[in-house]
Amino acid sequence: MKFVSVVIAAAGLFCLPALAAGDAAAGKNKSASCLACHGAAGKVSVPMYPNLAGQNALYLEHALKAYQSGDRSGGQAEVMKAYVSGLSDADIADLAAYYASLKP
């Protein structure tokens, strides 16, 4: 029974919102190249691009790193790869924290 409790408790941890490791203020300063497609407040005016406002920071970090490495393909992946190719891990964390901090 103890094992079941531990598994249930561990599963519950995955439901908690993750805190972004980045600096949202720094991310805002780094977001200038994102504005054209993702909007000034992370909300798009062109439906083919995703809204970033309020998105989970860990998801955004994972997605940006996947664009960098080429693990994401199709759609606008090549465009995104060009934009994120020069970003450091800190830049990515900051951008993720910024967009996660915005109201969806």
Tell me the domains of the chain and their CATH numbers. Answer: 25-101 (1.10.760.10)
pTM of the complete model = 0.79
Asked if residue 4 lies in contact with residue 72, where contact means CB atoms within 8 angstroms, the answer is no
Measured CA to CA in angstroms, residue 66 lies from 13, 45, 62, 70, 78 at distances of: 24, 25, 6, 6, 11
Per-residue pLDDT of the chain (104 residues; tens, 9 = 90+): 444 444 444 444 444 444 548 999 999 999 999 999 999 999 999 999 999 999 999 999 999 999 999 999 998 999 999 999 999 999 999 999 999 999 99
Alpha carbons within 13 A on the beta-carbon side of 12: 6
Measure the CA–CA gap between 65 and 68, rounded to whole angstroms.
5
